Amino acid sequence: MINLFRTFNPFNALWLVIILFLSRVGYLFHVPDKLEFIFVEPFARLLVPVAYEYALSPVLNIFLAAVLVFIQALLLNYLINFHNLLGKPTFLPALMYVTLSGLFAPFLILSAPLICNFLLIWMLFKLFSLYKGEDAKSTVYDLGMIVALGSLIYFPFIYLFLSIWIALVLFKPFNWREWVAGILGYATVFFFLAVFYYLNDRIKNFGNIWLPLGTKFPDHISINSYNYLLLIPVIMILVLCFFKLQQNFFKSYVQTRKSFQLLFLIFLITAFSFYVNAAFHLNHFLLCLAPVAVFFAYYFLYSTRKWFYESLFLLLLISIICFQFNKF
C-alpha cells in the first residue's frame, strides 16, 4: 500500500476514497441517534442566529465529515508537493492525513476543529511562502485575520498566532512592521465583532472572550485507556520519523529544514492548546493532523525496509478499523 502512494499518481485518489471508507465504516455500526455539530464559539453564536446543532442526521454528518477530510487531504498533498518539502512528488501526505483522521471516533464527525483544519492548511500555504516573499506585511496581515476567523470557530485556534511570529523568525530578517501587521490583521476581525456586540447591547461582555486564556493547565487528562493502545503505532512512527529526519536534516535545503521546524512547533502549539476549552474533547487533536501527516509521509517515503514499513502501516490501519467495530 505504501509503495503505491510513494509515487504521485492521480489514480491514487480512488484508493484514498477506499481507505477513507474503511477507516469509517466500523463507526456506522455504533453511531448515536443524534450527533451535535457546533461550528462557532458561544461568544460568536449571535453571528449564526439559527438552530443548527442537530440539523444533520448522524449518517449525513459522518458523510460530510469524510468529504471534508478528503478535500483537506488533497489540499495538504498539493501544498507539500508544491513546496517540495519531501524532495519528490508523492501521495503519501494525503494517505497519512486520511488514515490519521480515523484514529478516534470523535475525529469522524463534523466539528469545529475539523472546519479549522481548512484554515490551518491555508495558513501553511501563506507561512511557507514567507521564505521567498520580499514584502511579507500583507501576507502576515492576512494570516492574522485567518487566526481571528479560526478563533471565532474554535477558540484554541488563537494560539496559532504564535506560528506567524515563529515563521517570521525562521524565514525573515526582523522587521517590526511585519510583526505588527499580524496583530492588526487579528484586531480587524475582532473590531467588527466588537461593533456587532455594541449594536446588540452586549459590549460589556466583549472582554470576557479572552478569559479562557487564563485557565490553569490541567494536571491530568481523562481519556479512555483503550485509546492509548491506538497511540502505540502512532508514537512508534513519530519516533522513527524523527530519527529519519535527524539523519537527513543537514542534507536538506535550508527552506526544507526550516519548514519542518515550523511544522514541529505548530504540532506542539496545537497539541498543548487543548486546555483553553472548559471541557476536554479528543476532537481537538484534529488540529495536529496536518503536521503529523507530513512527518509520517517523510518516514514512509524514505524508509528502506519494505516489510517493516508496510507492516507498520498495516498495523495502524487494522487497529483503527478494529477499534471502530468494537465499542469499548
Q: How many domains does the chain have?
A: 1
Q: What is the mean pLDDT of the chain?
A: 87
Average of pLDDT values for 66-79?
A: 95
20 and 39 in contact (C-beta within 8 Å)? no
Residue 165 pLDDT > 80: yes
Residue 2's pLDDT band, with cuts at 50, 70 and 90, is confident
- 188: three-class secondary structure by DSSP: helix
Residue 219 lies in a domain: no
Asked if residue 222 is part of any domain, the answer here is no
Q: Which domain holds residue 87?
A: 2-214+232-325
Q: Is residue 91 part of a domain?
A: yes
Give ∠ CA 85-89-92 in degrees, rounded to 5.
85
Q: Is residue 297 part of a domain?
A: yes
Residue 224 falls within a domain, yes or no? no
| DSSP string computed for 41-59 | -GGGGGGS-S--TT-S-HH
- pLDDT value for 222: 63
The answer to whether residue 221 sits within a structural domain is no
Contacts (Cβ under 8 Å, ≥6 apart) of 50: none
pLDDT per residue as tens digits for the range 225-272: 666 777 888 888 999 888 888 877 666 677 788 999 999 999 999 998
Residue 227, domain member (yes or no): no
Q: Note if the pTM is more than 0.85.
A: yes
CB atoms within 10 A of CB 28: 14
Q: How does pLDDT run across 199-225, given as a tens digit for each residue?
A: 888 888 888 888 888 777 765 666 666
| pLDDT beyond 90 at 287 | yes
CA atoms within 13 A of residue 244's CA, in its CB half-sphere? 21
| pLDDT for 307 | 81
Instruction: State mean pLDDT over 37-50.
Output: 80
Higher pLDDT, 50 or 44: 44
